């Protein structure tokens, strides 16, 4: 069921005879797909929730369940094998992966990182190059000044 007036992306409810997953109509298709998969994981875990998610230091049982649902949805919508193929075909940015798999860009970014396919951050590489060049220039200038004295 898709509705307009819910303040969240989705939710799952048992109505006494069947599960009902409600999605926010105002969200775009990638977000709705992710919310549907996320809520489906909650439905799957419903009968085993109490012993699957018991909490741990720094994380409550509810947070564990949410993280598991996020991970499940990411894996379902962007399987590692398909993601690897996409990356080998040149689609490596989160935006490209998001479009290809119809998932939100943050989900694509997370999956790229989880699977070890995340591209290196170009800005960081550029900064490192500048630092290395600056250090080399300083060394060269020191050698030149020492040689002239």
Residue-wise pLDDT for 100-133, tens only, equals 999 999 999 999 999 999 866 543 544 455 555 5
Regarding beta strands 2-3 and 10-14, do their DSSP bridges make them parallel or antiparallel, or are they unpaired?
A: unpaired
Mean pLDDT, rounded, of the chain: 83
Stretch among 22-26, 62-66, 68-72, 122-126 having the lowest mean pLDDT = 122-126
Q: Tokens in use for 15?
A: 């109505």
The domains of the chain are located at: 2-121, 122-149
Span 62-75, average pLDDT: 94
- Give the neighbor-by-neighbor strand order of the sheet with 10-14: 2-3, 19-24, 10-14
Residue 135 has what pLDDT?
54
pTM (2 d.p.): 0.74
Closest CA to 22 of 43, 42, 36: 36
Residue 122 has what pLDDT?
40
């Amino acid at each position: 069921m898709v509705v307009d007036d819910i303040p969240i992306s989705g939710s799952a409810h048992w109505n006494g005879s069947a599960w009902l997953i409600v999605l926010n109509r105002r969200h775009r298709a990638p977000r709705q797909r992710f919310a549907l998969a996320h809520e489906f994981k909650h439905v799957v875990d419903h009968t085993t929730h109490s012993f699957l998610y018991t909490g741990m230091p720094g994380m409550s049982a509810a947070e564990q369940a949410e993280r598991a649902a996020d991970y499940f949805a990411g894996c379902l919508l962007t399987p590692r094998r398909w993601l690897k193929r996409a990356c080998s075909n040149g689609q490596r940015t989160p935006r490209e992966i998001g479009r290809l798999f119809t998932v939100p860009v943050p989900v694509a970014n997370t999956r790229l990182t989880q699977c070890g396919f995340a591209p290196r951050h170009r800005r960081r590489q550029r900064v490192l190059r500048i630092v290395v060049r600056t250090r080399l220039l300083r060394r060269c200038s020191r050698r030149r000044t020492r040689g002239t004295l």
